[in-house]
Amino acid sequence: MGYVEPAQGESADRRVLHWHRPRRPGNRVGRNSMTSTALPRERLSQIPLLANFTAREAEDLFSIAETVQFQPGATVLAEDEESCNLWIVLEGTCEIVKQSDQTGHKVVLAEVQPHQHFGEMSFFHPAPHSASVRAKTAVKLLRIDREAYHRLVDGQCPAAYKLAFNTIGGLAERLRRASDRLADLDSAANAKPPSEWSTFRSKMFDAWNL
């Protein structure tokens, strides 16, 4: 991956970063395809995980990344399965889906929009996924492989540390929002909350370092 010099008369601010990592032998992609892509530099600054990356650091990170496209309805991550990738949405919308223990139906918990990411919990702390992610529309995603990321860490690459730092910041913000939401729900309850609510609340705050 590297810079593409601007054409004659084109502003240098419109330079783009191209990257592509060839598919490894035996890597099955199923209902998706991998392609090369290019992003204007100003768009990179809109991706929270890449905040404060220098051009060189972005290049180092993209050297281990690849773009993957999924069609609507395709599963990106499957609940209760384990994978080792961190994903950034470049185009389209994904849905986070959870299997209901009571009804057995799938419930859409949230949507993931362009520039947002998912998969970070299993990426940094390997464990089965607690929910599935599927493509709501046709999507283009940036996929970062954990083993390749560890090579950056072993090489003391600043991009690896910045990615971890930005991920922690994103998780902290999610916890703050969850904390605020729980406080609002608690205040709105006029009667004694059911035991299920108390159990849920204790699980949310257990071992939190606030």
Q: What is the pLDDT of residues 184-198, one digit of tens each?
A: 666 666 555 555 555
Choose from 10-19, 110-119, 124-133 the range with maximum mean pLDDT: 110-119
Condensed to tens digits (0 to 9), the pLDDT of residues 17-44 reads 444 444 443 333 444 555 444 555 666 7
Q: Is the dihedral of CA 159, 162, 168, 169 positive or negative?
A: negative
Of the options 3.20.20.100, 2.60.40.10, 3.40.50.300, 2.60.120.10, the CATH number for the domain spanning 2-205 = 2.60.120.10
Nearest to 83 by CA among 43, 40, 123, 44: 123
Residues 6+ apart with CB under 8 A from 167: 49, 86, 120, 124
Stretch (H or E) spanning 32: strand 32-35
Cα–Cα–Cα angle for 152, 157, 162, rounded to 5 degrees: 100
Specify the pLDDT at position 92.
97
Inter-residue contact 40 to 14 (CB < 8 Å)? yes
Looking from the CA of 175 toward its CB, the CA atoms found within 13 Å total 14
DSSP letters for 86-142: EEEEEES-EEEEEE-TTT--EEEEEEE-TT-EE-HHHHHS----SSEEEESS-EEEE
Residues 6+ apart with CB under 8 A from 80: 128, 129
What is the b/e burial string over 145-166, where b = at least 16 CB atoms within 10 angstroms of the residue's CB?
bbebbeebeeeebebbebbbeb
| Top-confidence residue, 205 or 101 | 101
The ranges assigned to domains in the chain are: 2-205
- Answer whether 0.75 is exceeded by the pTM: no
